[in-house]
Structure 1
Amino acid sequence: MHRHGFLRNLHAVYQPRTYFEIGINDGRSLTLSRVPTVAVDPAFKVVKELRCDLHMVRETSDDFFAREKPLEHLGEAKVDLAFIDGMHLFEYVLRDFINTEKYADWSSVVVFDDQLPRNVDEAARNRHTGAWTGDVYKMIPVLQRYRPDLRLAVMDTRPTGVMVVLGLDPTNTVLADNYDEIMDTFLLKDPQQIPPEIVERSCAMTPEALLSAPFWSALVAARDAGDPSYGREQLLAGIDHDLADLSRPQLSDWLPDPAAGRDCEVDQSASVGEQRMVAAIRQKAAAKASGTQSQNGAGSTAQHAATATKQAGATRPSRRVSQRPNDLFGKVAKRAPFLRRLPGAPRLVKKLR
C-alpha cells in the first residue's frame, strides 16, 4: 500500500474532526481532508483541488509554532489527526512532534512520513539522492526510549514507510526536558547508522493490520461522545491487546556509535522561530531541573523571546539568519546539489542578487 493510500484509509477509519499537516508540497495528502485544516510549508506549490476549510501558512514550522495562537483557525478544537512530513532532518521532526502534541488530546493520532529508509544514502542528512528520507527514522528509537507511554505502529508502506503514534499526552514534557541530551546522542555526521530492523522492515506491520484493529471503533465512539469512562488508559490497553501479535518496534535500547562525531551543520543557520523554540525548550528544562518557577509569568512575549534567545546563545554557537533570496537558494542548493545543474539556475541566482 502506498502512503497516500494508507492516509486515505486512516481518514476513513479514524474520522478526524480536525487535521494538521506539516509539509504541504503539492497538496496530495491535503486532498484527503474534509474537515477544518491547518497546513504549514515554507515553499508549497499546490496543484491539486482541495475540498476542506483550509488555512495554509507559508513559513517554517518553527516560525509557525512561535506564533501566539498558531492553530487559531481550528478555534478551541484540538488537533485530531496530524501528518508530519516537513524538513527531513531529525531535529526538525522532533520539535514538530513536541509542538504538535501540545495541541493534541489523548485520542489524537500523529503520523510521521519516511520512517523506513531503504539504504544509508537515502537516510543521509546531506541530500545527494533523488529519493530522500533524511535521518527522521531516529524518531522511532527516541520515542521508544524517552516516551514508552506512547504506542508506536510502523507501517510497511511504499515507498519509505510511515509511523503512527497513539496515546498522546499534551502535558508530557520529557522530550523537551531532554532535548539537548537527545541531540548530543542522535545528531551525528553522515554516513548515518540505521538499525537493521528498520532497513529490513522487520519492525513494521502491514497497513491493513492496523487499519482493521478493533480499538478504532471504541476510540472514535468515546471521543465523539465525550465518554468519561473511556480515556487514554483504556485506549492504550486496547491497542496493546489488538496489536499483541503484530510486528512492533523494539529499539528503545538502540544508540548510534558516537565515534561518528556530532553533526555541526545544525548550527550553521536558523530561522528566528527555530532559535526561539530551542531557547524556550532549554529555558523550561533548566527551570524544571533547578526546581524553580519562571518569574516572568505572563509577561511580555517579546521580552521573553529576547531573554530566551540570549540564554540559548550562551550554550550554542551563534547562527546567521539570512532573508536574502540568493542566500536561500544557496542553502537549498547545499542540501540538494542537483539544483545547481538545472537550466537557467546560474542566471536566476545572478538576477536575485
Structure 2
Amino acid sequence: MKKTKQIKIRDVLVGGGAPIAVQSMTNTDTRDAKATLAQIRALADAGCDIVRCAVPDMQAAEALREICANSPLPVVADIHFDYRLALAAIESGVDKIRLNPGNIGGADRVQAVVKAAKARHLPIRIGVNSGSVEKHILEKFGGPTPEAMVESALYHVGLLNDCDFDDICISIKSSSVPNTMQAYLLASEKTDYPLHLGVTEAGTEYMGTIKSAAGIGGLLALGVGDTIRVSLTDDPVKEVYAAKAILKAVGRAEEGINVVSCPTCGRTRINLIDIAKEVEQRCQSIRGKKMKVAVMGCVVNGPGEAREADLGIAGGDGVGLIFRRGEIIKKVPQEQLVDALMDEIAQYEGE
C-alpha cells in the first residue's frame, strides 16, 4: 500500500497511513444553520468523520460561522467559481476548502485564497469529475477519459503549488466505475497527495451503493485511497452506513461489527432472513468493538462453516445455538436468539 502525504482536517488525519476517513455532505439549505447542524449531528451519530456543506452564496458562507462553532465534525466548505465565498467561509471557521483554483479567476485570486488557508492551516481539496474537465484537456484526450481527469487534477495542483501551497487532497470522480478506478490508479502513480475516493452521480440507495462498493471497495482493496464518500440520492446518513459497510467488506474498518450470514437453503428451520436483518440493524450503531458475527441457518453446518467468526448463531427447529469461534456455548429458544446474541456481543472483549 502506497503511503501518501498527510493532511489534518480539524482533528481528523487523512493520508500518511491514517485510518480511512468517512465523509458525507449535507443536503439541507446551508443558510438554515439549525437544520444543517441537526443533520450533521445525525451524520456524526452514524459514524461520519468529516462533513461537507455547499456554499452557494454569501448568506450560506455567513451561516457557516454558527455551523462550524457547533459542529461535532470537521466542516468542509464546497466552493464553486467565486473566490470571495472561499474567503468568507474561511473567515467563518471552516476546517477545509473544496475548490478548483483554475475556476476562480486569475492568479491574484488563487493567491488570496491560499494566503487565507495558510493562515488558518486549512487544507484544500481539488475535486475533478468527468463533467468539469477543462476544454483544452478534453480536446487533447478526445473526451473526459481517466487520463484527462488526472491531467485536469494535476493542472489545479500546479496552480496551488505555484503559490507555495502543498496542503492538498485530490478527488477524481466519474459516474463510470471503470473510469473512476482507472483515474485513481493513474493518480496514485503520479502524485503522493491523499486521495478522496468516490463514484459521482452513483444513483439511488440501491444502485448507488452497488456502484460505490465496486469502485471504492475495489480501489481500497488495491491499497488506493485515504478517505471516502458514498454518493447517494437519499438521506446522507445512508451514505455513511454504506461507506462503513464497504470498509468492513475490504477489511479497512478500524472498528465495527462485520455481520456475515448464509444465503439459506432447504435445511433452514428458522426465519433466517428477518433474524439476519435484525442482527445487522442492531449491530450498526455499536462503537468501540471490532469483531465478526455470523448468522447461520442450520446447526448442522453453521458453527463449523463460520468457525472464523468471533461470535455467531445457528438456527435449529424452534431453538438455536450460540457459538464462539466454532465452539457451541449455549442453546436458547428461537425467540430469544437475537437478544442472547446481543448480550454476548456486549460482553465480548476479544481474544
Using structure 1 for the length normalisation, give the TM-score: 0.28
Who wins on radius of gyration, i.e. which is larger? 2
| Structure number with higher relative contact order (C-alpha < 8 Å, ≥ 6 residues apart) | 1
Using structure 2 for the length normalisation, give the TM-score: 0.29
